[in-house]
Amino acid sequence: MKIILLSMGVLFSFLTKAQSSLNNIDFEDGDSSNWNLSIGNICSTYPGCFTNETPGTAALRHTVNTGGYDPDAYVVPKLCPWGGSYSFQLGDNSSGTNGERAYYTHTFAADDTLMNLSFAFVSNDPAGHAPNQMPYFLIEILDSSGAPIPSSVDYYNATDSTMIDTINVGWNNIKFINWTRYVVYDPSFVGKTYTFRFTNTDCALGGHKGRAYIDFTKDSLALVLNTVGPNQILQAPQGFVSYQWSSNINDTLDNLINPATGFYSVDITSANGITFTLSAFVSGTTAINEDLKVKNKFTIFPNPSNSGNITIETNEKATVFVYDLHGKVLMNESVIGTRVLDVSNLKSGNYIMKFVNDSGNIIETKRLNVIE
């Protein structure tokens, strides 16, 4: 059985300071005040199963970090690279069946329009384990009844194609996701109260571990022109899973080196599948940004689904290309109106969906997450 998650969400904004101005959602008070923490255990009944939940914490299970690197995936910093002075860690450096949760409840105001959740995840890839038995990391937004909003769910374990392989003597078969942005956008959240819930676990058989790092950051989603040595670099916000510059540039990096005077735009896609268009006019040492635009011409559901099909609804005529995270095209289909696609051949993991018009221009990019 496959569960298919096409994650969407909400956006709101706050400042990263030496002291938090938003009730410590960003951990900038240097502690976990205003967060609710709990511990428990993984269970393997279904993806994201968590049992024996008990309020509170235990030694090293919830940690506020100020620096350093993950002890097993050495390229993963404990502190978000584009964040403030503190980030938060769920999980310790020992194996078991342990799990940790962190909750933050927030009422969305009218000006809560730009929020970046960033995360990293490090996990053993245990041989001989069913996917439901593996360490996992789960992001959810809960409504007032405590039920997860389906479109907010983002689930990762070692079968996910997003996870990068590395090697470490003493804890082999490590995989990790380095710091990545999950951005939430839903204007209907304004005036309502929702709870962010983060879950990290070890494996269900007790021999392997997982660790997650989270942070909320406010840095402008804009193009910035920086002088680095002899070069001018037009920098897009870091940490997005996909970058596509305008057709005359056709670059997929997060920056352009020595851009000439002119107009530039780039589509950036977050880990949960939200695509934004950033545009700026570059002249000399200045980049003048236009308003941020959110792309949402294509609706994909069910979200989640226990079938091997997804439905695409759109008024646009396009071809959808489905890529793995190494850039390999796995399928392509024409879409207009309502189209049901069979994705049962896709393995558990994350995929990029690019919608291309007849002129060859990318209209929109989305992220597809499949869980077996």
For the chain, domain boundaries: 3-217, 224-291, 299-371
**How far is the C-alpha of 84 from the C-alpha of 93, rounded, in Å?**
24
Mean pLDDT of 263-268: 92
CA distances from 82 to 85, 86, 279 (A): 10, 11, 21
What class does CATH assign to 224-291? mainly beta
Per-residue tokens: 162 = 């997003």
**How far is the C-alpha of 8 from the C-alpha of 321, rounded, in Å?**
19
Name which of 55-59, 61-65, 153-157, 258-262 the model is least confident about.
Answer: 153-157
pLDDT of residue 358: 86
**How far is the C-alpha of 318 from the C-alpha of 334, rounded, in Å?**
6
* Fold (CATH) for 299-371: Immunoglobulin-like (2.60.40)
180-191, pLDDT tens digit by residue?
A: 998 876 777 888
Q: How many CB atoms lie within 10 A of CB 152?
A: 24
* Fold (CATH) for 3-217: Jelly Rolls (2.60.120)
Q: What is the overall mean pLDDT for the chain?
A: 84
Would you say the pTM of this structure is higher than 0.85? no
Q: Which amino acid is at 216?
A: F
Using alpha carbons, select from 365, 128, 140 the residue that is nearest to residue 267. Answer: 365
Mean pLDDT of 335-356: 85
Q: CATH topology of 3-217 equal to that of 299-371?
A: no
Residues near 206 by beta carbon (within 8 Å), at least 6 away in sequence:
95, 96, 97
